[in-house]
Structure 1
Amino acid sequence: MNRRHLLGFLGAAVAMPAMAQDRQIRIGFFPGPYADQFKRAIQPMLEREGYRVTVTELSNAIQPNTAVMDGALDANIFQNRAFMETFNERNRGDLREMLRIPSAPLGLYSRNITALDGIRNGMRVAVPNDPANMGRALAFLASLNLITLDPSVPATRATQRNITGNPRNLQIVPLDAPQMPRALPDVDAAAILGNHVIAAGMLLSSAIALEDPAPEYQIIIVAREGAANAPWLRDLLAAYRSPAFKEFIANDPRSRGFSTPDYWR
């Protein structure tokens, strides 16, 4: 979907009177658990507050950001800070992190291996091919002592060129992140983002190992810089911070294994 068509699809409300727009919230998602949690828990809270909520799921990971930049969406919920900062640098963006939310951690998955000691010499290990998530996956593999990375390179910037030690001679295979669950039969193991694990019908608990996401890798609510003081954003953040949403996450089988934000600890 090109930008012109995307704006045509999402931007019908732009011409509405300002007063009518004050009670509407347009949120974009990549299909997966964060959209599901929003629709089942957060959207009903906002609607009880009198908001008209529009949820749009976009299949390209760049579209939710371009739509917020263009004003076709008010906010999006699908990415981590590292991904947002990379987008801002490449697109002269003014997107801003508004709040961290419960996040599905990255994990190491395999069809045939059940423990780290099953990863043997020369095996193929897949990682996401986008820059931010490749660095995250490589840092995770390093935390498992499968590889070592150049310490002078920030984890969010690391690529295969920054691997300084590979004692098991692993073949690192970059793949499109959403397709990685389907690729498991073709590799020995894969470092897969948690939202893609859940979207594929897999369990987070089936991982060989799970990360404890660093702050830059936790999922965030993103809006434009100028929205920071908007009433709709205040109410959106309050819904995510609420005891009701904390209870929902704690008791929802689909959210089992999620890491929780600091303000709930």
Structure 2
Amino acid sequence: MTCVANANTGLAFIHGTGKQTDARNDYWTSEFIDSVRQGLPNSNKYTVINCDFDQFMWNENASGCLAQGLTDFISAQGITELKLITHSNGGNIVRWILSNPTYDSRYPDIISKVKHTIALAPSSAGTPLADAAIAGNSFETSLGWLLGYGSDAVKQQQVSWMSFYNQQWLFGTSGRPNLQSTFESVVGSDVDSAIWDGDSYCGGYQYQVALEVTQNWLDNCSDGFLNCSSQSAAGSVWFTDKSKSNGREPFSHQQSRRKCFGLDSLLRNRI
């Protein structure tokens, strides 16, 4: 993906579910962001979004906050070409903006600037684990660190709810209009948590163990939180982890927002 000649290119990092106040350090890590942004013509032209993504995607504190953050960044930096890197539920909030230009007066200018979205493990078709968390069964405790408890964002990511949103409000999935710009996903296909395997410690060993447990209730192809089919439901698939990762390692849902197995280098070269 190349930049338009003479474009002033900017990059925004957009987190997933959760209310973030320091997503740079708490959600992504500085080492990940600082590596990826080196792929920009000017590595200082980037922003890290902090919003309340525990809300429904159309909520002012979710998509409204994102729209304001992107608008302020575009204005302050004179951005003419905007690239986005999202993770998990952040991809749904981005698609809400890109799919509903008349919903908010800030949206059209953002849509005109966005040229490329890379969605890391997007929950484009929801996850059975959200259904389980809302039902209040044993997943509620084990998923607290990942999903929270019963928030609107968790409700939103139930499989049937995302199916409805995709059919009615969101572009980019099968049978729906295409998004006006490139939206491509990176798909995580497995979780490694062997205690003797050093690769299992990238991103935090405890998270790999938890995702290994939740993976038992998902398809064979999953990142411990999302089935591969959900991650690939919107836009196009850039790649599935093992096809490009160092050592053909899989990306768990935690590792797909970390500097693991060359992901940062792949993103840096892609933007």
With normalisation by structure 1, the TM-score equals 0.38
With normalisation by structure 2, the TM-score equals 0.37
Higher strand fraction: Structure 1 or Structure 2? Answer: 1
